[in-house]
Amino acid sequence: MDLSRLEINRRTALLTSAAIAANVINPMRAFAQETPRKGGVFNVHYGAEQRQLNPSIQASTGVYIIGGKIQENLVDLDANGQPVGVLAESWEATPDGKTVTFKLRKGITWHDGKPFTSDDVAFTAMNMWKKILNYGSTLQLFLNAVDTPDPQTAIFRYERPMPLNLLLRALPDLGYVSARHLYESGDIRQNPVNLAPVGTGPFKFVKYERGQYIIADRNPDYWRANAPYLDRIVWKVITDRAAAAAQMEAGELHYSPFSGLTISDMARLGKDKRFIVSIKGNEGNARTNTIEFNFRRKELADIRVRRAIAHAINVPFFIDNFLGDFAKLGTGPIPSTSTDFYPGPDTPQYPYDKAKAIALLDEAGFKASGGNRFALKLLPAPWGEDISLWSTFIQQSLSEVGIQIDIVRNDGGGFLKQVYDDHAFDLATGWHQYRNDPAVSTTVWYRSGQPKGAPWTNQWGWEDKAVDKTIDDAATEVDPVKRKALYAEFVKEVNTELPVWMPIEQIFVTVITAKARNHSNTPRWGSTSWHDLWLSA
């Protein structure tokens, strides 16, 4: 197919870029000297309802956007992405990395009036983070016990060294605490409190009408002085993206998080003075677009074919024409937003080079007969417009070098089953979510020995002992400098072998009313407690 047909989209993409660029500086307005105003209702777009709301047992933005205002974590990230205490006041680790002690804040009570103590932390860590929480169960695999010598001290004891910087970067997401007295008896998953959460946070749960809305009101006994400012938060369940954009314009919604609107609506609202459209405040939710190779196909087991595929796709062209400023060129599994671990672009890269791609394929022995070399089945994940566009772009690009692509579309459950359990794919494409530290959800994409059926893990039929060793060493390395060096080595290795290619970096886009103040001021703002958020008159 002729790529010049894509030109139609160039104009929209350029307009989009301009609109976003103009608005990225807008959040600065929030820092002008204004006296914070108390009161007001903040209406939030809630696109996909979850099965429950407790962030101690489910790590996903769909839970944090609500549960993160009601329950709190031990630590969170500050404006510079550095760990800052929330329920924990301070922490220290022993030099061997096997013991981490948290000092907890005094005088905090749960919304039902009971005091918050280290017993709650120990119970949550051992019964929820270690046993139920997705990614938590991997992180806390070697957690042996949590000792509670007094109500303000929780001592985490590990069997193997736990790097403190890994724990502190994982806990903002994987460190929400639940009340022991409410979960002690019965099955934690079935506990009705999961749908009517009780926490220590700035907002108290009021009501949840499934399919309609969730309400939380100001917690008058909140432990931070003068917080929160808002009287109430209402999350409105709106599944249709275009309808949500119309509700923003009608003033019925103040905030649509995590790229909840269509790309064209975000571009349009970006030009409207009433809204701020920005990627700021989402740096902690970076993701990369992938191409996952199935090594069970003999063609794809050949490294020359994988490299040829990468060389055949003009990624900068795709980003410029389809994603605008919502995305940038990626350089590997660790995105550039991860200041602690990003190894720089100086690792093996595969720039667009059609001639080289053709040469590599010829060299591998897959000659074109009648223009066709071989056919591959591509499975795109159903989340996000960008994946759908990207899969079509892959199809068109590869047809130019003689590889025919059949796109097979599935819904979420079907995609995960076919790729990560049945291995019924040749190429798959979706998102890799980076969670502030490569050990949380990145290295599982490359470490061999992943159980069949575990989504977003190495199911490629690929194994590399050297890579496995680098991953294992980094996971228990206590020295931050050495850890960073090990992850740089890891990126170099996987970019050379290319079992998965991660050529695009994206950050979620926020659409929020220009009346909001103190918003988007931390790298995971949409998930945080919003204790300082206020609405100007």
Report, in Å, the least distance between residue 443 CB and other proteins.
Answer: 13
Report, in Å, the least distance between residue 221 CB and other proteins.
Answer: 24
Asked if 411 touches other proteins (CB under 8 A), the answer is yes
Tokens of 334: 């660790």
- Give the pairing type, strands 500-507 and 327-329: antiparallel
Among 23, 52, 278, 458, binds other proteins (CB under 8 A): 52
CA 21 – CA 398 distance, rounded (Å): 32
Q: Which is nearer to other proteins, 90 or 212 (CB)?
A: 212
CA 121 – CA 75 distance, rounded (Å): 12
Report, in Å, the least distance between residue 457 CB and other proteins.
Answer: 8
Q: Report how many helices (DSSP H) and strands (DSSP E) the chain contains, helices first.
A: 17, 22
Asked if 409 touches other proteins (CB under 8 A), the answer is no
- Give the pairing type, strands 255-256 and 275-278: unpaired
Among 210, 273, 367, 465, binds other proteins (CB under 8 A): 210
Q: DSSP labels for 116-176?
A: P-HHHHHHHIIIIITTTSTTHHHHTTTEEEEE-SSTTEEEEEESS---HHHHHHHHHHH-B
Among 14, 22, 41, 466, binds other proteins (CB under 8 A): 41
Q: Show the binding pattern over residues 303-342: x = contacts other proteins (CB under 8 A), - = does not.
A: ----------------------------------------
Q: What is the footprint of other proteins within residues 65-124 (CB under 8 A)?
A: none
Among 44, 59, 507, 516, binds other proteins (CB under 8 A): 59
Q: What is the footprint of other proteins within residues 129-158 (CB under 8 A)?
A: 132, 134-135, 137-138
Q: Which is nearer to other proteins, 192 or 370 (CB)?
A: 192
Among 61, 436, 513, 520, binds other proteins (CB under 8 A): 61
CA 165 – CA 338 distance, rounded (Å): 13
State the chain's maximal CA–CA distance in angstroms.
76
Asked if 451 touches other proteins (CB under 8 A), the answer is yes
Q: Which is nearer to other proteins, 2 or 209 (CB)?
A: 209
Asked if 422 touches other proteins (CB under 8 A), the answer is yes
CA 103 – CA 78 distance, rounded (Å): 19
Tokens of 23: 């608005």
- Give the pairing type, strands 403-407 and 374-380: parallel
Asked if 211 touches other proteins (CB under 8 A), the answer is yes
Task: Specify the residue for token string 């290619």.
Answer: 501
Q: What is the footprint of other proteins within residues 241-280 (CB under 8 A)?
A: 242-243, 246-247, 249-250, 252
Report, in Å, the least distance between residue 4 CB and other proteins.
Answer: 30
Tokens of 136: 């938590």
Size of the site for other proteins (CB under 8 A): 60
Tokens of 266: 């975000």
Which of 182, 178, 204, 200 lies closest to 191 in space, CA to CA? 182
Asked whether 374 and 403 are in contact (CB, 8 A), the reply is: yes
Asked if 237 touches other proteins (CB under 8 A), the answer is yes
Using the Cα atoms of residue 132, residue 136, residue 138 and residue 141 in order, give the sign of their dihedral.
negative
Among 155, 215, 364, 368, binds other proteins (CB under 8 A): 215
Report, in Å, the least distance between residue 6 CB and other proteins.
Answer: 26
Tokens of 164: 């403190």
Among 10, 11, 38, 51, binds other proteins (CB under 8 A): 51
CA 103 – CA 87 distance, rounded (Å): 9
Among 195, 329, 364, 514, binds other proteins (CB under 8 A): 195
Report, in Å, the least distance between residue 159 CB and other proteins.
Answer: 17
Q: Which residues bind other proteins (CB under 8 A)?
A: 41, 48-52, 58-62, 132, 134-135, 137-138, 189-190, 194-195, 209-213, 215, 234, 236-240, 242-243, 246-247, 249-250, 252, 383, 410-418, 421-422, 433, 441, 450-456
